[in-house]
Copies of this chain bind each other. A is one copy, B any other.
Amino acid sequence: MIGPNRVIVRGHGREYYVRAGEGKLSTDLGMIDLAAVAELESGDTILTHLEKPFTVLVPRPTDFFSHGKRTGAPMMPKDIGMVIAYTGMSARDRVLDAGTGSGIATIFFGGVAKSVVTCEAREEFSRIAEGNIRDAGLTNVECRACDVLAVTDGPFDVVHLDMMIEPQHVEHAHGLLRTGGYFATYTPFLEQTFCVMDTARRLFGEECVQTFECMERELTRSARGTRPSTKVSHTGYLTIARKI
């Protein structure tokens, strides 16, 4: 049963992100009773008062990327996926995620890890992110409105930084990591990337640090033919370091 939680209502080319439980959702094909939605299971169909069918879905992490309240540009899914894969993040891990932002990456990490501590220095951002994370139904994520340097209760299996990064942050992350654990950070500009590479190589050892650029293109296909989109998602450089 969905209960009084966030739900996606989809149908007829429209998608609504609402809270089940009380009130009405007004679509251009009629009203939907949100109390009735709360009684359904994810994937069920509900009819508007005009008898038009809509599907109700418990949101997945990808839905929060589309619908979560934003306080800035969230990490792109491709970049979240790179962090998960290159750190080998799994259900055994305690993860530190600094620079919560809107909390979208945190929601993906929270769905994977045993537990996540996420910190965000801007209090209002932290509060908004906490709303998104609560809407995702995650109970293994702790939101802290503080600077990452104030986090001292390591060790963590993965430390991910998505923030304006300076050498001291890499050093602090290194100190918080369990042996065998991974540090990961995305840096949009080359100058910062160089700084992260140099600091990480000094701390983790040169052979334990790699930096990647990930370029993603959509393949478009229509009656005219198939070709790559000219838009390429470049968001920066991912540096991964393992503490051995």
Q: Which residues on A are within 8 Å of B, measured CB to CB?
A: 8, 10, 13, 42-43, 55, 57-58, 60-63, 77-78, 80-92, 108, 111-112, 178-180, 182, 188-194, 197-198, 207, 210-219, 221, 224-234, 236-237, 244
Contact = CB atoms under 8 A, between A and B. Distances in A.
A158 to B, nearest CB: 9
Given A86-B81, A244-B55, A212 B221 contact: no
A178 B212 CA distance: 35
8 contacts: A42-B178, A55-B180, A62-B86, A78-B212, A81-B84, A189-B227, A191-B226, A215-B216
B80 A85 contact: yes
A10 B207 CA distance: 13
Main DSSP-derived SS at the A contact region: mixed
Nearest to A114: B91
A217 B226 contact: no
Contacts of A108: 85, 88, 90
A219 B230 contact: no
Contacts of A218: 210-213
A198 to B, nearest CB: 8
A71 to B, nearest CB: 19
Nearest to A243: B43
The 10 closest A-B CB pairs, nearest first, are: A90-B111, A189-B225, A81-B85, A81-B81, A43-B179, A61-B88, A62-B88, A60-B88, A77-B85, A57-B180
Given A60-B87, A60-B90, A231-B231, 9 more contacts: A78-B85, A188-B227, A189-B225, A212-B217, A212-B219, A230-B231, A230-B232, A230-B234, A231-B232
